[in-house]
Structures are given as structure tokens and as C-alpha cells.
Amino acid sequence: MNYKKVGRIFGIVLTLLVVTLVASPFQASFSSNGSVGSGSSWEQAPLLGPQHDADPTQGPPDNNGGGVPPVAPGGTEPVAPQDIPGDNFEGIPPQLPLPAEQVVPLQTSPDDNRGVVEPLQQPISPQSPTDSIPNTGEQSKELPSQEGAAPSTSVSFDFPATGDTYTVLHDPNWWNTGDRVDGYRQPGLNWVNKLTYNLQISDNVLSGGGHVDLDLSINGIIVGNFTILPGQTSKSLTFSFPAISGPGYSIRLRETNTVGPGLGSIELPINTSSLTLIGNTFPATGDSLVLEDSPDWFWYIGDRAVGYRTPGIEWIDGLIFDLQIGNYLSAPGHVDFNLTINDILVGSFTVLPGETSKSVTFSFPQISGPVYQIWMEVTNTVDPGKGSIEILLDSSTITFIGDAFPAAGDTMIVANSPYWWTAGDYALGTRKPGLDWVNSVRYDLLISRNVLGGTGHIDFELSINGIIVGQFTVLPGTSSMNVTFFFPKINGPNYVIKLKELNTVDPGMGSVVIPLNISTIHLFGNKFPADGDTMSVTTLPYWWHVNDNATGSRRLDMGWVTGVTYNLQGIQNFLSGTGHIDLKMYINNILVGSFTILPGEVTKTVSFTFPMIRGPNYAIKLKETNLVDPGMGSIVIPFNKSTITFRTGIYTPNLAK
């Protein structure tokens, strides 16, 4: 007999027995709101701060569970970013997380000057029709293939993510009413009307009738709700809703119930769940469809889709409409459309047999916002039996062109697009803000990704109509810049704006990305209220409340002023009966004059003289001082229509009477 071998086996068995006897007294569960399992309980050391991505094998004392919770699978080690050749950054750069509101997923490029691979945006597949197709004669009801069709505008990001705010009573365990996580994103969408959410649950110890009810809200509007049940480790959700305006979105996930005693809880880890916002679509969920044949067949004169958008743009003078179509037309069938914005016809187009997508671009005289009614209407009736077209909700996109710069339709000459780091990179666009002349500009630049490091910096030059009006520098870590420049008058009405890089970033010192349709530019001249001014109106855009007001600042080549002429133009007047609007005008907080708008008045010219007010900066305020009687109407004062002219001279009080 091999006694040495027997001895080794006996020793192993004895060791295992001792370990088992020592460990068994500590097999207990911990729950301040539930039953304690068998065995001797002991007090766990306190957790040090929020541990949303922790993976404990023992339940903390506030997980509302009964018994030992199951061990969650181990987390995946993060993948280190890879260096990309030619990216002007030697080695792997340090991670510089931007504020949540600046995160904009980008497509990967070998010239990104950084080397971090970003996720590609996934197209949203259109739904298949379930209703019969009207006016088709002998046509097949099969939906044409949508392969290659442009996807809805969408941006994906993690939520919850690093930097978001957790308010969880027994953090990290969700089981109480009011537990929530809040985040803010600025993804570059003017509005959103749909989302998909792939929620990951790291530790679900719900049992029996235990469940967690959650509301998801955007900008304070609940867009969907759902329930997590015992055993669920993930949840895939899609919600559609009426358009919510951006460009910033406050997102909240909030629990609306308290789990019963001893029935468990869940954990929601950071940086593992993906939320995709889908927006800029028209027609969309919540829009009005008036069709001869519902739900979405267009073929009869007067068929139309109508929706309202508040994209955060004070005026627009162009748009791009990318229409996705289910097309069942046969020759000579066709569908003619008119597109109007705020009752102004901006363009017409025709859909022919075989067309499954249509991209149209229209430019037009400036239309003031901030609310825009979109009206797309059929102007012909398709011949009998020659088919129809289907326009699915939430599949076509419309992009407004206005005070954003750079924006869709502008010229972008960037050597390693979208990465700015080479001298001569520039963005160029023309704007028609309705100003006869301008003498100042405010530019609010937003940078979606800044990987400048060390000595890396970018010097920018801003010019208008070929005249340099100012320069500024972007440094490492900068995610936004707000600059204002004053200059001698530049005549309009068209203004060519150019943003140009003056230097080449040192090798390996990084770059920045400037996305389209996020940064805004405001030109100031002789109009008030104008693009960039503040309109504080209770029921915007309708003036009828006390203290409704418009404010703005102007810098003039006048050290002082003693008079002003205000020519109020383009008033939309809905006043009737005794309805009237009393207005006061202030300059540098000094009351300079008062006047009244009566029913039927669409223009008003007033002149005031007053004691000297010193400049050269002049803060202007137009303020309503009365409440219009119920049912007696309101007025709308548009941007960039009314002129204000300052005067200097000797103040003579008698002339003011």
C-alpha cells in the first residue's frame, strides 16, 4: 500500500472539512426590510460611497431581500483604447471625459487624431404595413424593399453613465418610491419623438410578488413606463411620443412603487445600458394626419400631415427634407406635395413611381419662430388604379437651417474630417437674418470631442463677408466657447460666415470635433427683437400677460443717446373688442416711453426723447404692463422684423410732449 499517497488524500479531506466548518456559521443574508436566513448573522462593514458597478457576493444590509442573493456574473474588463496610425497623437492619449451634455457618438476614422473607436449608429428598420393598400388596382401589396434607405436621425449613449446623479435611498439597491437617476444629454437633435432603451440589471434579488415599476421622462415629460420582475436581467424597450424640443434633454428614470417587505430589490449599474434618442422626424407620433384612406396612404387631394416643432432656432431660412416612402404607384401615377411652414409655402415636390426615398432642399425668406408649424399636403388626386404612397411615422427627417453654424448645407473643408487640427480647415455658410447691417456677433461654439493635450491648441478666426471680426483659441479640455465681437457696420442682407483654423496642431497633440447643427451664431444690427435676443413670454409666442417682455443689448458708435425711434413691424394681431396691449420701453433700465397696440394694428411707429443715457452698450427692454381681458386675444411680435434707431442731440423736454 502506498501510505504516502493515502496520507496526502487524508490531509486534503481534513482541510476541506475544517474550511467547511469554519465558513458555515457565516452563511446568512442581510436585509433591513426582510427576513434573515439561517445561521449566525453578522454586521457588514459600511459601503464607502456609491458602488453602482460593484458585484458583491453577499447582499448589503439594505437590499430588501430575503435569503442570500444570487451571485451576479463577473464584470467584463474594460477594453483599452487602441492607438490609430496617423491620428496626430503618439501612443494612447489620456481619457478626457466630456460633460454628459456634450457626448455625441461619432463614426470611426483613421484620422481622428486620438485612436478611440466609437460605436456606429444603427439604422432603425421601418415597420411593415398591416393594412390593405387602397387605390392599387391589381398591384401587389408587398412593401418595397427599404434596404439602403436613410435611417432616422439617432444618437446612442449610455444611461445611466458616469457623471449622472443617483438619488437612491438605499444606494445601490432600488426598491423605494422616488429612487431615481438623472442625466443630461445634448446629442445634436433639435427634437426627439422616439427612443429605444436596452436596460441592463446587474443584481435582481426580487422574489414572489416583488417588482419595480419605473417611469422614464425627458424634459419633465413621461415618455414611457415599465416593470421589472423577478429574474429579469435586461429589458429592451421602445417608446414613441409627441416631439420634445432640444437641443438639451434632461433624462430621468424613477421608481414609482415601493417593493413589499422582504421581496427584494434591483441594481442598475453605470455605463452598461444603452439609450438611443431618435428625432428630427416628420411626420411623427403625435402629428395630425388627415387622409382619405387611413392610416398612412397619400393619394387624394387634400391628404396632409401637420405637426408643430420648437427646435430652439429663433428663425429659419432653409430646410432639408429626407422623405422615406413605401411606393405603390404605377405610371402615370404621381403624388404632388406642397410644404408650408407657418402658413408660408416654402417648396413643392413630386413623388414618382419607383421612388422609395426623396431628398429635397428649400431656401426661402426668413421665417420667425420659435414655434414652427409644418404642413405637408397633397395637391393632386392620383388616377384610379394608379396606386398610392405610404409615409410611415417616425421614419423621415426634416432639418431646419437657421441660426446654427456650422449647419447642414454649409461647406466644410476639413483635411481630416471631422477632426480639426490642420491650418486652413474651415466651415463656410451664408445667413440671411433679415438685418440691413450688423455690427456685433455672438458665437456659442460647442465641441463634441476635444483630445488636445500638452501644447495642443487651435486658433480660430471668424469672418463675415470677408472681414475678420474676431479670433479665439480652443485649449485642452474645452468643450464650449462663448465669444462676442464688435466691429464697424457690415452691410447685408446676406452674410457669408467663415470659421477658419489658423494653426496646425503640434504632432501628437490632438484635435477637436465640431458637429453640425449644435453651435449657434447670432448677428446683431438695427432690428429688435432679433436673433439672439431673449423673449420671455408666458404663452410664447402670444403676448397677453403682464410682464411678457423682450430684451437685448446693442453696442453703438455713440457714447450717449437722447432719443429712439421704434418701428414695430409684422405684428400678428388677434386682439378684439376691448383687447389691447400696453407696452413700455426701457434703455439701460431707464423708462423712455410707453405705447399701446389696439385691435387690427399690424405696425406701430413711436419716437421718444429723454435725458442723456450713456453707452456705448445699450440694454433694450420691451415690456407688457397689462393683462388682456379673457377672450380678447393676443399679439405675436416676430424676430428680425422691427427696426430701432438711436439718436443723439440736445434733449428738449417740450419736444417730448
The pLDDT of residue 312 is 64
- Whether 153-279 shares its CATH topology with 411-525 is answered yes
CA–CA separation, 449 and 469 (whole Å): 26
Determine whether 112 is exposed, middle or buried from the number of CB atoms within 10 Å of its CB (0-12, 13-18, 19+): buried
CATH number for the domain formed by residue range(s) 534-656: 2.60.120
Q: With contact defined as beta carbons under 8 Å apart, do 325 and 333 qualify?
A: no
C-alpha cell at 250: 434632461
Q: Give the 3-state secondary structure of residue 56.
A: coil
User: Among 648, 646, 640, which Cα is nearest to 436's?
Assistant: 640
For every residue of 405-469, DSSP letters joined together read SS-TTSEEE-TBTTEE-STT-EEEEEE--S-SEEEEEEEEEE-SEE---TT--EEEEEEETTEEE
Q: With contact defined as beta carbons under 8 Å apart, do 176 and 170 qualify?
A: yes
Domain ranges of the chain: 153-279, 288-400, 411-525, 534-656
The pLDDT of residue 124 is 28
Q: With contact defined as beta carbons under 8 Å apart, do 173 and 267 qualify?
A: yes
The pLDDT of residue 153 is 63
Residue type, 460: F
Q: Is 178 left (phi over 0), alpha (psi -120 to 50) or beta?
A: left
For every residue of 370-395, DSSP letters joined together read SSEEEEEEE-S-PPTTS--EE--TT-
CA–CA separation, 250 and 165 (whole Å): 11
Q: Is 111 left (phi over 0), alpha (psi -120 to 50) or beta?
A: alpha
CA–CA separation, 338 and 235 (whole Å): 42
Q: Mean pLDDT of residues grouped by 10 in the chain (657 residues)?
A: 45 47 38 30 30 36 46 35 36 33 32 34 29 30 27 75 93 96 84 89 94 96 95 92 81 97 95 89 87 81 90 76 92 96 92 94 78 94 93 84 79 92 94 80 90 95 96 94 89 92 95 85 85 84 94 85 90 92 97 96 93 92 96 88 82 43
Q: With contact defined as beta carbons under 8 Å apart, do 420 and 508 qualify?
A: no
* CA angle in degrees (0–180, nearest 5) for 68-71-76: 160
Q: With contact defined as beta carbons under 8 Å apart, do 548 and 581 qualify?
A: no
Q: With contact defined as beta carbons under 8 Å apart, do 502 and 459 qualify?
A: yes
Q: With contact defined as beta carbons under 8 Å apart, do 106 and 448 qualify?
A: yes
Beta bridge partners of 171: none
User: Among 257, 158, 270, which Cα is nearest to 206's?
Assistant: 257
CATH for 411-525, among 2.60.120.260, 3.40.30.10, 2.60.120.10, 3.90.550.10? 2.60.120.260
The pLDDT of residue 204 is 95
Architecture per CATH, 288-400:
Sandwich (2.60)
Q: With contact defined as beta carbons under 8 Å apart, do 520 and 403 qualify?
A: yes
Say which CATH class 153-279 falls into: mainly beta
C-alpha cell at 252: 430621468
Q: With contact defined as beta carbons under 8 Å apart, do 377 and 304 qualify?
A: yes
